[in-house]
Structure 1
Amino acid sequence: MNPLSSSQNQSILFEELEKLKNSFSFENKEIEKEFYKKNSYLFATTSASLFRLLPQIPYSKHKSIFEKLFFNLQLLNLEEKYVENFAENFEIIDTENSLNKAQQGQPFLFCCFHTGAYSIIPALLANNYLDFGFLSNKTLTEKKGTHFLEVHRNYCKKHNIKSTIQLINVEENKGIWKAIRMLKEGKSLIVYADGNTGSNYSKKESQNTVRVNFLGENLQVRQGIAFLSYMCNIPIVSIISSRDFSKEKPNLKRKYTLLPAIYPPNFTDSKPKKDKISKEEFAEQTMQKLYFFLEKEITKEDKISEWEGWIFVNKFFEQLQKPISRANIKNSIKINTSLIDTKKAPYIFNEERFALIESAKNTLFDKFTYRFFPASDLLYEIITYFSVPKKLYLFDETQTDNEQLEKNSNSSIFIHSNSKLQLSKTIISVSILEKLIEKKILIQYK
């Protein structure tokens, strides 16, 4: 069987792109509801990260950002599958000619981020006939290592490109030494500064971290990139990847911007330093620069949803569980225990602050403090009941039916301590509602 031509591949690619795009159109509310139920945890962590790092973005925009983000995650698979079609449309901005220098034997630490079409950056290096290493972790190596190497090998074979890639698991004992050996051989490395989505990274388990400020929040991030640069005297070149969604039709253009190099203090080609700095100082300054590059890119309005890190950046927060003063927190109103206007007092589940993670064991997630709480069957029913605004038509079980009807006909009713509310299946006391309102799980709908 003859392999498909590039034009045939492109035609199939456009069909798959259109199919992927249509899958996020949500033909009806039920499809949308099922999507968010299935991805409730990912949306909750994304929304929490947006609240914490970009509080100026209202909650009403969180869903559209998440849908675009999820679309981009699926798009990565197509970019890997049809890498040659995208590679033909690479737009490269390399003001310092770093790729040309790498061809001539100067190794670099090519620092990437989880933005744009980051997964096909190896094709960018292959197109420049470079032999290079790819630093990974155990999870990614085991899950995608074989596939990753096969994609690169097939791409090079089809286009008659001489380029080899070595996957290096840095969590292995000898992983870092393999990386150092490659650099000494004049081969470059691809590294990621903003963590791996598949890793079980915990700042408590790692001593190799440094504090950086990112969008006003302190993060503890790995500093291995900076240490490698310092110890091996290798410059760091950041690669920013982005897509072009300016047109209605699918666009295959993928843009890669190679930023000016960050040089270690003893690098011969860099400007002489007046004062030498320590390895720790260089690591702190370098990682802060790298995260500044990332911050500058993802705060562009059309690039927010291109960063995969909204899902997992909470792993790097220096203080995870703390009150959030920067977020736009709505003030909830307590139930007036004397009078309540049944026509003007609808309440609703506070989905801006809380998320119901639906699974075998339902969980309530507080986006502002990153705390998880078990959701009992009763709490689940209350949240479901108040998923849309509901007026509090309360009744006092000590009254007769006639008295109750007379009370409900008025615009307001007196609330006794033993007043009740009929849910879909259960009757609950007003004291339970008061506690939920006090904790801002239920808020008055305006």
Structure 2
Amino acid sequence: MDFLERSTTNEDDASTSWLYALFAANLYRFCPQIDTSSYADIYRRLVTSRYRASDDQLSEALPIKREVLAELTSYIRQIKGRPGFVTTFHTGSYRILSRVMYMQGLNVAVVMSREIIAEQGEHLFAQHTKMKDVGKLQLIDADAGNCLIKMLGALQNGYHVVIYMDGNHGAAPTKDELDNEEVPFFNCNLVVRKGLAVLSYKRNIPIFPILSSLDDQDDTFYKSYPVISPNTEEALKHYTSRVFRTLYNHLQEVVYPKPEVWEGWLYVHTMPGKRERNKVKRRYQSYWPCRVGTRYYMMISPRYTCQEIGKLSFLCMRKWKHLTRQMKN
């Protein structure tokens, strides 16, 4: 990904890279109401946000305003005595949430993909070791078959478990529809595995949603939402639906005014969506020119197929997109 971003040689290339094509197709699929002429700007801000999240993680001092940190730590202190699932998404400066938590004395287990653990795990533990009077840190492999058992074990040992609900790794939905839950997200539906909600329901484990975003001055802030707790009078089916609809409503609330804060636009197509039950063709189909190095492609949305094309076809298609955008405006 980073290579593709660095390989862009001018401003036009930035709006026709492979990642941009993925981003544009996903944004159009879920939020067709957003004017396509703003896509390039949103994408550039998204790239900036990604690097900012990485820099925040490496920073020795917490890059958060004092009043924002005070509000977040106040919420964390309130949940300290009741271990549960701290659910978040890849928005804003999501990477330092677990750090703020163990700095407040909480024992924290973070669920991550095996790839991210290999890439960041050593740094996270080294950073944690340098600190004094903090809670313990544990990393749980989201790709492991015993992930849920590990999460339950951590909870029983007094850890709060941090989960990225929109991760594209880990316990993927199965073919068995009984294990999956369909969740509305903007103009489409996503399919998620029920495991988190089922574990919460059967073991009476609370869910604490916390999301990061940017304020009007583009400074990091965190929003803590009311706890989601199982109710003995509520059926498991209803609780499961309530959990995921509530969490993804929170994500929509954060993303809608600032689409650039969510990294998911780059990979939401890898998250299962609702399958068409009939053979009726989709009414809307878009074509996006993209370039990778010296090779040229046409991405077809919303099918996410890609076809290599010649340079002349690429230039004509890009010019056509530009002209139609001007006509629309």
TM-score range, shorter chain: 0.7 to 0.9
1:168: Cα distance to partner?
0.7
Corresponding letter in the other structure for 1:33: D
1:67: Cα distance to partner?
0.4
Deviations 1:91-132 (A, max 9, x none): 1586996522433x3112110111111001012202311111
SS for the counterpart of 1:62 is helix
1:179: Cα distance to partner?
1.4
Aligned counterparts of 1:211 and 1:51: Cα–Cα separation in 2: 20
CA spacing shift, 1:359–1:62, aligned 2, 3 Å = same
After superposition, residues 21-420 of structure 1 pair within 5 angstroms as: 31-36=10-15, 40-87=17-64, 89=66, 91-92=68-69, 98-103=75-80, 105-154=81-130, 157=131, 160-196=132-168, 199=169, 203=173, 208-246=179-217, 253-266=219-232, 273=233, 276-278=234-236, 280-300=237-257, 303-316=258-271, 317-319=273-275, 324-325=282-283, 353-358=287-292, 362-375=296-309, 377=310, 380-385=311-316, 387-388=318-319
Contact 2:13 2:291 in 1 (8 A): no
Contact 2:174 2:180 in 1 (8 A): no
Corresponding letter in the other structure for 1:356: C
CA spacing shift, 1:94–1:262, aligned 2, 3 Å = farther
Deviations 1:257-306 (A, max 9, x none): 2100000124xxxxxx3xx312x442222111111111122112xx2111
Aligned counterparts of 2:325 and 2:261: Cα–Cα separation in 1: 34
Alpha-carbon RMSD across the aligned residues, in angstroms, is 3.3
Aligned counterparts of 2:280 and 2:262: Cα–Cα separation in 1: 24
Deviations 1:233-276 (A, max 9, x none): 11101001122352xxxx7x53222100000124xxxxxx3xx3
Contact 1:356 1:364 in 2 (8 A): yes
Corresponding letter in the other structure for 1:32: E
Aligned counterparts of 2:256 and 2:65: Cα–Cα separation in 1: 28
Aligned counterparts of 1:297 and 1:144: Cα–Cα separation in 2: 26
CA spacing shift, 1:141–1:386, aligned 2, 3 Å = closer
CA spacing shift, 1:163–1:90, aligned 2, 3 Å = farther
- TM-score normalised by L of structure 2: 0.83
Contact 1:180 1:232 in 2 (8 A): no
SS for the counterpart of 2:24 is helix
Contact 1:110 1:236 in 2 (8 A): yes
1:360: Cα distance to partner?
7.1
Corresponding letter in the other structure for 2:269: N
Match of 1:349 in 2: none
1:355: Cα distance to partner?
2.3
Unaligned runs of 5+ in 2: none
Aligned counterparts of 1:90 and 1:165: Cα–Cα separation in 2: 26
- Which structure carries more relative contact order (alpha carbon 8 Å, separation 6+)? 2
